[in-house]
Amino acid sequence: MQIAIVLYDGFTALDAVGPYDTLSRLPGAETVFVAERTGPVRNDSGTLALVADSTLEEVTRPDIVVVPGGPEENVRLAQEPLGEWLRTVDAHTTWTTSVCTGSLLLAGAGLLKGRRATSHWLTLEHLPGYGAEPTGERVVFDGKYVTAAGVSSGIDMGLALLGRIGGDEAAQTVQLLIEYDPQPPYDAGSPQKAPAAIVAWMRERSRNMAPGERSA
């Protein structure tokens, strides 16, 4: 079973590594980081680079595709070779997945039409523009399409998907291995729970940021 994790300039690291360090532990999985070109790919802040070991052209039949998020305007990539690749490989995948604004990329490539999906809470409202139906859930399964909310939700998605593929025991084993017994020091991880002033500030900042400044 081949798992292809997509990288592109400005991706958010945890969006990619959460699903990676869960799904890649599935017995028999072969995981590959893939991008337009091989070599280092820089993240949203530019201070981290993950290496793409294969080009899009080299990975033609992945069983699972994972698309991480990044700055909102990366949805433009859906019109570039990455979007074309997503459409092509999606014809044969068992699961097509995303974390955070990665769902905008899937949606922009036309893959979420009529599907229930999620995204980072700040970008949920953009899904209907691509024919997808936004939900407030953290991990959304609709057929073979699995979308996760912001950044850290990729860990929950990875474990949930692992359970569907390998069974509960395989997923529980990985959960124990990565000691995923979360104890966040605050209860501020969703717009419903965070202090209202912080939610308002982030919405305002998101509206006012120039393209290229945004990242989640």
Question: Nearest approach, Cβ of 186 to a second copy (angstroms)?
Answer: 5
Q: Contact residues for a second copy (CB under 8 A)?
A: 12-14, 17-18, 20-21, 24, 30-33, 40, 45, 47-51, 53, 100, 120-121, 138-139, 149-153, 155-156, 159-160, 163, 168-169, 171-173, 175-186, 188-191, 193-195, 198-199, 201-202, 216
Cβ proximity to a second copy, 87 vs 116, nearer residue: 116
Does residue 100 have an active-site annotation? yes
Question: Nearest approach, Cβ of 179 to a second copy (angstroms)?
Answer: 3
- Out of 3, 16, 17, 100, which one is annotated catalytic? 100
Question: Nearest approach, Cβ of 79 to a second copy (angstroms)?
Answer: 27
Q: Which tokens is 95 given?
A: 């699961």
CB environment 70-93: b (16+ within 10 A), e (fewer): bbbbbbebbeeebbebbeebbeeb
Cβ proximity to a second copy, 143 vs 186, nearer residue: 186
Question: Nearest approach, Cβ of 205 to a second copy (angstroms)?
Answer: 10
CB environment 120-142: b (16+ within 10 A), e (fewer): bbbbbebbeebebebbeebbbbe
Query: What angle, 0 to 180 degrees and rounded to 10, lies between the N-to-C axes of helices 168-177 and 153-166?
Result: 140
Distance, CA of 25 to CA of 127 (rounded, Å): 31
Cβ proximity to a second copy, 82 vs 151, nearer residue: 151
Cβ proximity to a second copy, 74 vs 153, nearer residue: 153
Q: How many CB atoms lie within 10 A of CB 102?
A: 30
Report which residue type is found at 77: L
Cβ proximity to a second copy, 47 vs 208, nearer residue: 47
Question: Nearest approach, Cβ of 5 to a second copy (angstroms)?
Answer: 9
**DSSP sequence for 103-168:** HHHHHHTT--TT-EE---TTTGGGGGGGT-EE---SEEEETTEEEE-STTHHHHHHHHHHHHHH-H
Give the residue carrying structure tokens 């025991």.
Answer: 169
Which residues are annotated as catalytic? Answer: 100
